[in-house]
Structures are given as C-alpha cells and as structure tokens.
Amino acid sequence: MSQLFSPITLRDLTIRNRTVVAAMCQYSAQDGFANDWHFAHLGRFAIGGFGLVILEATGVVPEGRISYADLGLWKDEQIAPLARIVDFLHSQGTAAGIQLAHAGRKASTPVSWNDTAKMSAAEKAAVGYENWTPVGPSAIAHSSSDASFQTPTELDAAGIRQVIDGFVSAAKRADAAGFDTVEIHAAHGYLLNQFLSPLANQRTDQYGGSRENRMRLLLEVTVAVRAVWPQGKPLLVRLSVSDWHPDGWQVEDSVVLSRELKALGVDAIDCSSGGFDGAKIDAVANYQVPFAKAVRDGADIATMAVGLLGDAQGAEAILTSGEADFVALARGALDDPNWPVHARHELGATDYDLWPVQTNRVSSRDRSLGLRGWA
C-alpha cells in the first residue's frame, strides 16, 4: 500500500488515508447556516475517497465572518444542517473536520460575485447582505489601497474574552454536530494571525510587543478549546508559517509556536502561509511544502502540506520523504473531486475498494477499455 493511502491515527480517530480537503470558503450561506450547496459541495469529496474533509472558515461569532455569506457556529440552530453534512461524510468513510475562525480586521468584506453597490434592498436581503465594523488587535486596516477593508476597532480586554468564549462555544457545537476534529484558524491574515504578526499587532499590553505576548491569544484560545473538545478527538491548528514579508512572522517563529501548541494538546499543524498586504509570494507547485517540513522537523508534530498540490506521485513523495503527514487539496479538489480514487490507481492499486459501491461500475468501463490494470 502507498503511504498516501495508508491509514493514520490521531488520538482515537483513525483516518482512512492521508488525503485531505482543505477548508475553502464558499460564500454561500445566509445568517451562517449551511444549505444544500454545502451538502452537495462537501459530499462529493467523500464519494471521491478523501480521508478527511475540513469545512470552510466558520465564524465563531457573527462579526468574525469574512463576509456576510460565511458559515457560522455561534448559535445552536446552526448545528443541525452541519450535522446532516457530517452524517453523510461518515456514511462514506470520510472523517469530518471544521475550521473555526474569526476574521478580525478582514471581516465584513464583499462577496466578489455580488455587486451590492448596484443591488436593491430586496436583492441584498435575498443574499443575506450585512455590513459591520470589524475588530482587530490594533486600529490598523488590512490595506490602505483597498476600500473593501475597513479600519477595525481595537479589541479591549472584554472583547478578547468574547473571542475566546466564541471559540469555546463553537467547539462545543462542533462536537454536538458530530465533527471528528476542529481546526483553529490562525492563518491567512485573520484575527489570530493578526495577533501573531507584527505587521498587524501594534499593541503595547500583554498581547503585543514580544513574540511571547503576540502568541498569547492563540495559546489561550487553544487551551480553552482543548478543555472542552473531547480528549479522544484530535485538535488541529492552521498557521501561516511565514508572512512572506521581511518585517512579519517568520518560519522560526512558527516552529517555536508549534512546540507550544503541541504541549497544549494540538495534534497536527496545517501549514499554509501569507495573508498580509505587501507579501511577496512565489506561488508555484508545492511551494508551501518546505513549511510543513520545517514545522514537522522543528516541533516534532504531525503536519499537513497544502498549496498547489495535485500530482499523485509528488504527493506520495512528500509523505515518503518525511516532509509531511497529510496532503491537502483545495482548488485541486474542486477540479477533481475524485482525486483520491484516481490517484490510488495511479499509484498502483488495481482494486476499486475506495470507490463507493454505487460508482463501482467504473471498473467494467475500465475493463472494456483496458484501463487501470485491465490491459
């Protein structure tokens, strides 16, 4: 069996293979509620053989959404439609995760395909349009050249407490919905990443200044979530391992942070990067894999590689060379929701065991055409 399609166990969760669907915002919810789009979008990845599917950035409080059309988990009524999705993922043998998020100063931004400036009040209501003033570590906008980003209100002590409580409450609801894992989103220039990075954090209190202080909020969130998240279920954290900016957060910072996160009960780091204005990113195939390896080696923790991946042989090599423990696809999964079943054949499998029984007739087509070992 290839390494990519071998099972892996984190705490009490055994995941059938190392293929992951990374969290991808769909901007298709109203008032945070999952709907049929989310069900169909996510269900196809389970049918396609992925080991773990992680739902999109899900606001732990209403003002923590990137846009008005993000998923949310700030009230109990949002549990049931998510549980429906989780149940289907489980029925296909796929583990279910959800990314818990707060967008901070990057909240209340537009949905690109809805030109709200030209929409009537009725049209705005039909898509659930809302607008609010975001919050952040400091009263500094994400970008001075993009009017989509507002100047946030600086969080005070009470506001920080509300953020932590929001993550805790959302984690409890995620457990009630049946999720196997939660991922704390501390990447891509969103709130927890904003506190980490000196590019966004200009505070002079216990949450700003030194690296230790800038890490404080994420560590407090992690402690609080781990305390309410079942001990048998793994906890993930997504990091921007590098800001890709000389004045920002660096790889060595992420290694130190990941050691702290592991000590607090985090089981794996999802290694992404970037998220701040002024970053210079050379986005080519596999460009973030070195980040996964640096964290894995430096912090002795399982890591997830992500970022323009999709070559089956290359994915196998990432695992066999010890660069990461999981390979995660986002846009690659959108392009081919059946990527795991296809990759497994490419890596030498001649059976169709990963195909759901309803799709197994593919084998008779392959036999007739002399494909996938039928020559």
Nearest to 30 by CA among 108, 126, 106: 126
Rounded to an integer, what distance in angstroms lies between the CA atom of residue 154 and that of residue 185?
A: 20
Q: Are strands 8-10 and 13-15 parallel, antiparallel or unpaired?
A: antiparallel
The residue ranges of DSSP E strands in the chain, in sequence order, are: 8-10, 13-15, 19-21, 52-59, 71-72, 95-101, 135-136, 153-154, 181-186, 235-240, 268-272, 302-306, 326-329
Q: Taking the CA atoms of the chain, what radius of gyration do you get in angstroms? A: 20
Confirm if 254 and 241 have CB atoms less than 8 A apart: yes
Q: Look at the alpha carbons of 95, 96, 100, 101 in this order and tell me if their dihedral is positive or negative.
A: positive
CA distance linking residue 278 with residue 143, whole number of Å = 9
CB 149 within 8 A of CB 190: no
Options 129, 190, 207, 352, the catalytic residue: 190
Give 372's contacts (C-beta < 8 A, 6+ positions apart).
Answer: 345, 350, 366
- CA nearest neighbour of 127 among 35, 42, 57, 263: 35
Amino acid at 337: P
Per the CB < 8 A criterion, the answer to whether 75 and 33 are in contact is no
27 part of the active site: no
How far apart CA 85 and CA 370 sit, in angstroms, is 36
Torsion-angle region of residue 183: left (phi > 0), alpha (psi -120 to 50) or beta?
beta
Active site residues: 190
